[in-house]
Structure 1
Amino acid sequence: MKLFVVAVCLIAAAAAAPGSPAETAARRALPALQHEEIHDEFGQYALRYVTAEGTVVSERGRLVPTPDGKAYVLITEGETSFIGDDGKTYVTKYSAGLDGTRVEGAHLPIPVEATA
């Protein structure tokens, strides 16, 4: 009888465990809960979507003139957040443009800056 009770408890705990691989795969197969995109004739855009598993992506691209004013560059800025397998929320912010590419996130390693 004790073995039966222990077995039932283990099965119930396994079935209720959040983030099981099968459950995660099923949620990832679902379509986005929210999806918005805006584009203009110049290539500028804004987008945002939220998935069933809790991933949120937002990004925008806008044209800015180069310092000499002869051309335009598409500046991209965005943020992605997701819930990891450990249950924590991870947020990554990024941008790319005239000043190069930057990526920030508390979960990312901090680069070492060279000194002269």
Structure 2
Amino acid sequence: MNKFFAVFALVAISMAVAAPSSPETAARRALPALQHEEIHDEFGQYALRYVTAEGTVVSERGRLVSNPDGTGHVLVTEGETSYIGDDGRTYVTKYSAGFDGVKVEGNHLPVAPEPLPAQ
């Protein structure tokens, strides 16, 4: 569950980078979602998608996957967020959280340097 919140925090930060620069943009961003779909099941699995007036699209799903050792299940989360920045470019952030940790990718995000080889 902590991975889930970490992914949401990263997405929120990436969306905050595109803070409104004009009253018109701010007004559009205050409008409710144009589309909103959300499905949940009794096991905690879910899928959601929404589209806002300014062009932000969020889609995410969480599904239960068996532990490799067969002792239970883990909720694996995958999603994508896209928005149009003040510069007119579309920014896409893809993320996942599961057995292999949290992964976030997007062409607009900084890339960590390669680690130095051990000596």
TM-score bucket (shorter structure)? 0.7 to 0.9
TM-score, structure 1 normalization: 0.81
Write the deviation string for residues 37-77 of structure 1: whole angstroms up to 9, x where unpaired.
00000000000000000000000000001111111000000
Cα-to-partner distance string for 1:66-101 (whole Å, 9 max, x where unaligned): 111111000000000000011100000000010000
1:71 alignment partner AA: G
Q: Taking CA–CA contacts closer than 8 Å with sequence separation of 6 or more, which of the two structures ends up with the larger relative contact order?
A: 2
Confirm whether residue 97 of structure 1 aligns to residue 98 of structure 2: yes
Q: What is the distance in 1 between the residues matched to 2:114 and 2:76?
A: 24
Residue 102 of structure 2: SS of its match in structure 1? Answer: strand
What residue is the counterpart of 2:23 in the other structure? 22
Instruction: Tell me the distance in 2 between the aligned counterparts of 1:81 and 1:94.
Output: 12
Question: Among the aligned pairs, what percent are the same residue?
Answer: 80
TM-score by length of 2: 0.79
How many Å separate the matches in 2 of 1:45 and 1:36? 11
Alignment map for 1:1-116 (pairs within 5 Å): 21-114=22-115, 115-116=117-118
Question: What is the count of residue pairs matched by the alignment?
Answer: 98
Larger radius of gyration: 1
Aligned letter for 1:70? Answer: T
- Runs of 4 or more, structure 1, over 4 Å off, are none
Q: Give the whole-Å Cα distance in 1 for the aligned partners of 2:70 and 2:45.
A: 18
Please tell me the root mean square deviation across aligned C-alpha atoms, in Å: 1.2
> How far is the alpha carbon of 1:20 from its aligned partner?
5.9
